[in-house]
Amino acid sequence: MKLSKLAKTLKPSATLAITAKAKELKSKGIDIIGFGAGEPDFDTPDNIKDAAKQSIDSGFTKYTAASGIVELKEAIRNRIYSDYGLKYENNQILVGSGAKHVLYNLFNVLIDENDEVLIPAPYWVSYPEQVKICGGVPVILNGSQEDDFKVTPKQILSRCSKKTKILVLNYPSNPTGATYNRKELEEIAEVAKEKNLIVLSDEIYDKIIYSGEKHVSFPELSEDTKERTILINGVSKTYSMTGWRIGYAAGNSDVISAMNNLSGQSTSNPTSISQKAAIEAFSGDQQKVTEMLKEFEIRKDFISSFLNKIEGIKCFVPRGAFYVFPDISYYFGKKYKGKNISNSIDFTDFLLEEAKVAVVPGIEFGSDNHIRISYATSIEDIKEGTKRIKESLKDL
């Protein structure tokens, strides 16, 4: 069959592809340690599962409004208000089938052919691809490890053109774990105002932030940032609910209304049962979130210090999220089994073959000098996997 032009340009999500590959090798009995998936290993908390069971038992198993039920929108509004003091109305909230779906809807309703979208790198794999699917042009702003992977207002300004429409922010960041403080965000806000940019602020890791640091939400900075920002979040990471597929957008009511129309013509509502579970997630006991954060912090401390002790590896210590993004370029030019390691894909292949460890090549996130390791897995696996990495590198 003849595929569309769009279909021919699509590429698989690297994060999902590597996770699937590691699972397949495991199912064949190969002892692989999987550091691919950005997916917490914890079980979804019981109170949330109970709310879902209750939803099924009470027959709440039918279509709902495409943009989500009012009760869930209210739980989201209350959550944003109690966390950041921000007030939204129900018509400013859209619930979708995961943050990825919400982002896709958002790009679709904002981007016209050749509109430019500023994306700080290293970036999460799906932003540039989604922008391209919508006919837009991703404009990549490179953040370097020396600057803690942050982009500066000057950099943003220098890449703005007449076609620039959206600035994507994602902090704490997937894949680097970098985040921005209030002052840095205020400086970015000034540029966003000067250039009249729509800011897409993906704050899905806002609760996974270390050393007691407080996350600052972009729309809370001023009336202006609230007006120009579409805030993105969801339940996948904070509540270990990746399979439930609930994400949301909060912001301008015209944008939300257009997204609602798109959902209505494409997916309809996010799963009714998951919506009830998400209400419990946002409104119920938060003890499990604190416990998961504590565990992530232990893992982060271990993995970043272990990697930094390996010859040639330079690892930024994350301030949030659950990934490390070490620079492995020291090993470029080395050989194994007659093969040359000259980029992050070669290095990733080497780790999979020699160390039986699955990671994601940095090139997928816009930096070929790095690899991404997700530490959303047990401390035992982290210890074993990093030991294997260290041992295998000795042979190079």
What residues line the site for ligand PMP (CB under 6 A)? Answer: 38, 98-100, 124, 170, 174, 202, 204, 234, 236, 242, 247
- Nearer residue to ligand GLU within complex by CB, 123 or 306: 123
User: What does the buried/exposed string (b/e) look like for 335-346 if buried means 16 or more CB atoms within 10 Å of the residue's CB?
Assistant: ebeeeebebbbb
Quick one: which of 22, 33, 34, 38 contacts ligand GLU (CB under 6 A)? 38
Q: Which helix (H) or strand (E) holds 167?
A: strand 164-170
Shortest reach from residue 350's CB to ligand PMP, in Å: 25
**Residue with Cβ nearer ligand GLU (100 or 215):** 100
Give the nearer residue to ligand PMP in terms of CB position, either 95 or 303: 95
The half-sphere exposure of 149 on its side-chain side, counting CA atoms within 13 A, is: 29
Q: How far is CA 154 from the centre of its chain?
A: 25
Residue nearest to ligand GLU (CB): 38
For residue 291, the one-letter residue type is E
- Sign (positive/negative) of CA torsion 288, 289, 290, 293? positive
Q: Which helix (H) or strand (E) holds 138?
A: strand 137-142
- Note whether 16 binds ligand GLU by CB under 6 A: yes
**Could you give the residue ranges of the DSSP H alpha helices within the chain?**
5-9, 14-27, 46-57, 70-84, 99-110, 126-133, 153-158, 182-194, 223-228, 253-265, 272-283, 287-308, 344-350, 379-394
Strand pairing report for 164-170 and 116-121 = parallel
Binding mask 139-178 for ligand GLU (x = CB under 6 A): -----------------------------------x----
Per the DSSP assignment, residues forming a β-bridge with 171 are: none
Check binding of 283 to ligand GLU (CB under 6 A). Answer: no
Q: Which helix (H) or strand (E) holds 361?
A: strand 360-361
CA distance 283 to 109: 30
Give the largest CA-CA distance in the chain.
63
Nearer to ligand GLU (CB atom), residue 127 or residue 350: 127
Indicate the residue whose CB is closest to ligand PMP. Answer: 98
Q: Are 373 and 35 in contact (CB under 8 A)?
A: yes
- Both tokens of 238, joined, read 């904070």
228 binds, among ligand PMP, ligand GLU, none (CB under 5 to 8 A by kind): none
- The interface partner of residue 270, options being ligand GLU, ligand PMP, none and the CB cut-off 5 to 8 Å by kind, is none
Closest CB to ligand GLU among residues 180, 323: 323
Which range touches ligand GLU (CB under 6 A), out of 124-132, 185-193, 223-231, 292-300? 124-132
Choose the one of ligand GLU, ligand PMP, none that binds residue 204, judging by a C-beta under 5 to 8 angstroms depending on kind.
ligand PMP
3-class DSSP assignment, residue 371: strand
96 binds, among ligand PMP, ligand GLU, none (CB under 5 to 8 A by kind): none
Nearer to ligand GLU, 39 or 203 (CB): 39
Question: Which residue in 40, 55, 75, 100 binds ligand GLU (CB under 6 A)?
Answer: 100
Are 208 and 190 within 8 A, CB to CB?
no
Residue 170 binds which of ligand GLU, ligand PMP, none (CB < 5-8 A, kind-dependent): ligand PMP
Q: Which is nearer to ligand GLU, 125 or 209 (CB)?
A: 125
Report, in Å, the least distance between residue 124 CB and ligand GLU. Answer: 6
Positions in the binding site for ligand GLU (CB under 6 A): 13, 15-16, 37-39, 100, 124-126, 174
